[in-house]
Amino acid sequence: MFIGHYGPSFALKAIRPAIPLWLLFIAVQLVDIGWALLVLLGVERVRIVPGITASNPLDLYYMPYTHSLAAVALWSTVAIILWKFLPRSRTWSAAALVGLAVFSHWLLDLLVHGPDLPVYDDTMKVGLGLWNYPAIALLLEVVLLFGGMAMYMRRTTAINAIGRFGPPILGITMIAVQCYLFFGPPPTSPAAAAISALVSYVVFAAVAQWLDRQRRSATVQP
């Protein structure tokens, strides 16, 4: 899953406006950011195998430190602690939402991945395999993204034309990127896949934060 992960970002921003949208964009992809870095370092491993699923050519055969259920629980806990204690004004409820954003990644991946998500270490791998049904997988991503975005837009007000039209345009752009990933050529190498993922996560987070500044929240909670 790729763009569907951002649905919870928008939804959680609607629930707790004080959490920066860029942070939620990073939080929901923190697991994949770690994965990309560890792939580049040779710690976790992936193969490019066109046809391994109908949607995704990545054979994600070794990723215990980022995509196991135990690892994601740990990453989520670290995110909660950091958000709570680094800025001393943060509340536990806001910190819990940041942790939930991180943990949502594994839950949504469970729907689309084949059996490559470990429960612990590199064992007991699970995945419901919706990537083998591209139309359903793509529809799920779109529904998640625009469902969260609709919550966000109902709880905020545009202060200019960019704020009004920017989020939907961003969503359409994300769909175009997702379609390219599903139906375009496979990555040339694992390193290329990791680097393109990192770039997209940073760009999307930066654009989302810029667009969020063009909208005003009704309420702000700590």
Burial of 116 (0-12, 13-18, 19+ CB in 10 A): buried
Residue at 119 is within a domain: yes
pLDDT reported for residue 222 = 47
Position 99 pLDDT exceeds 50: yes
User: Are 124 and 118 within 8 A, CB to CB?
Assistant: yes
Residue at 183 is within a domain: yes
Give strand pairing partners of 120. Answer: 123
Residue that is written with structure tokens 């799920």 in the block: 140
Residue at 95 is within a domain: yes
Residue that is written with structure tokens 């309420």 in the block: 219
| HEC assignment per residue over the chain | CCHHHHHHHHHHHHHCCCCCHHHHHHHHCHHHHHHHHHHHHCCCEEEECCCCCCCCCEEEEECCCCCCHHHHHHHHHHHHHHHHHCCCCCCHHHHHHHHHHHHHHHHHHHHHCCCCECCECCECCECCCHHHCHHHHHHHHHHHHHHHHHHHHHHEEECCHHHHHHHHHHHHHHHHHHHHHHHCCCCCCHHHHHHHHHHHHHHHHHHHHHHHCCEEECCCCC
Tell me the per-residue pLDDT of 139-169, one tens digit each, with 9 for 90 and over. 999 999 999 999 999 999 999 999 999 999 9
Position 107 pLDDT exceeds 80: yes
Containing structural domain, residue 24? 3-217
- For the segment 205-211, the average pLDDT, to the nearest whole number, is 98
Tell me the per-residue pLDDT of 20-58, one tens digit each, with 9 for 90 and over. 999 999 999 999 999 999 999 999 999 999 999 999 999
Question: How many Å apart are CA 64 and CA 59, to the nearest integer?
Answer: 14
Residue at 133 is within a domain: yes
Residue at 188 is within a domain: yes
Position 219 pLDDT exceeds 80: no
How many structural domains compose the chain?
Answer: 1
Tokens of 12: 């959680």
Residue at 222 is within a domain: no
